Amino acid sequence: MKYCFGVDIGGTTVKLGLFTAGGEIVDKWEIKTRTENQGEAVLPDIAEALNAKLAEKKIGRDEVEGIGVGVPAPVDAEGVVQNTANLGWGYKEVKREMEELSGMRAEIGNDANVAALGEMWLGAGKGRKNIIMVTLGTGVGGGIIIDGKPLVGAHGAGGEIGHLCVNYEETDHCGCGNTGCLEQYASATGITRLANIRLAKDDTSSVLRGQEVSAKTVFDAVKAEDAVAKEIAEEFGKYLGHAMANLAAVADPSAIVIGGGVSKAGEVLIEYVEKNFKERAFFANKDTEFVLATLGNDAGICGAAKLILS
């Protein structure tokens, strides 16, 4: 029996998983991300946790294929990070350090790309080799899997789906400095923004008035057939659907997987996106399937493990 580890480094916790090469999760657990002193403890803490797990499970190091690691930053093909927003790292040769600390082979990827790989391997994209995953959370992230591998790109910045421009008329700015980014319309904060703009436009009655507006309350109101909420969902669906149509014309996926907190709204969300997608998709891509992500927070450790097995 061969094993591998999948590690998903976040700003507050590191998720770790022990997998069989066949894709069974043997064990999963978390440790704290210690970001003080430029995050110098992050990788040693991981190496220690993995070696302790091997001892606990009585697994020899020669039975382990290696360690896959997802990092919240662009990672180049050599496993090098230039900078991270929330781990404290500057330039860091993550692959080399992880291998030296652990004595095992390591492969490093960007966390969003790695999550997409996880959904392809064990989740909503199972059995496919070409998928786009879009993660609707506080921001919009994503990963593009081409022929079974994440699209990494020249700077490790491939798959920055949230910063596709979908509205050239927009005057409000995105966090990245541009205007009209998908993230301004399709993230949790983007949907709240769309809702507040719509509610301020006139005084049509809506269950959304008199409560704190969020992506969740908007989609709850859509399910309750609230007309204003449906208008907001339609606008969200237009921007996300049109962005996915553009992306499909170049990446030609067999499925688009939608995950992240906002996707908890469920199938109703897919309907708004898919309808607008079909309206704009290039003919070769009209039959692209839309599916909800199924792995939730485990996508990262699953995809990280798959980095080692690819």
**Residues near its own copies (CB under 8 A), total:** 43
**Is 172 among the residues that bind its own copies (CB under 8 A)?**
no
**Is 165 among the residues that bind its own copies (CB under 8 A)?**
yes
**Is 163 among the residues that bind its own copies (CB under 8 A)?**
yes
Footprint of its own copies on 136-155 (CB under 8 A) = 144, 146-147, 149, 151-155
* Residue 93 CB, nearest approach to its own copies (Å): 19
Identity of the residue, 51 or 254, whose beta carbon is nearer to its own copies in the bound complex: 254
Identity of the residue, 39 or 74, whose beta carbon is nearer to its own copies in the bound complex: 74
Identity of the residue, 68 or 150, whose beta carbon is nearer to its own copies in the bound complex: 150
Identity of the residue, 113 or 189, whose beta carbon is nearer to its own copies in the bound complex: 113
Identity of the residue, 13 or 83, whose beta carbon is nearer to its own copies in the bound complex: 83
Residue of 31, 252, 264, 278 interacting with its own copies (CB under 8 A): 252
Helix (H), strand (E), coil (C) string for the chain: CCEEEEEEECCCEEEEEEEECCCCEEEEEEEECCCHHHHCCHHHHHHHHHHHHHHHHCCCHHHEEEEEEEECCCECCCCEECCCCCCCCCCEEHHHHHHHHHCCCEEEEEHHHHHHHHHHHHCCCCCCCCEEEEEECCCEEEEEEECCEECCCCCCCCCCHHHCECCCCCCCECCCCCECECHHHHCHHHHHHHHHHHHHHCCCCCCCCCCCCCHHHHHHHHHCCCHHHHHHHHHHHHHHHHHHHHHHHHHCCCEEEEECHHHHHCHHHHHHHHHHHHHHCCHHHCCCEEEECCCHHHHHHHHHHHHHHC
Question: Interface residues with its own copies (CB under 8 A)?
Answer: 74, 77, 128-130, 144, 146-147, 149, 151-161, 163-165, 167-168, 176-178, 242, 245-247, 249-254, 280, 282-285
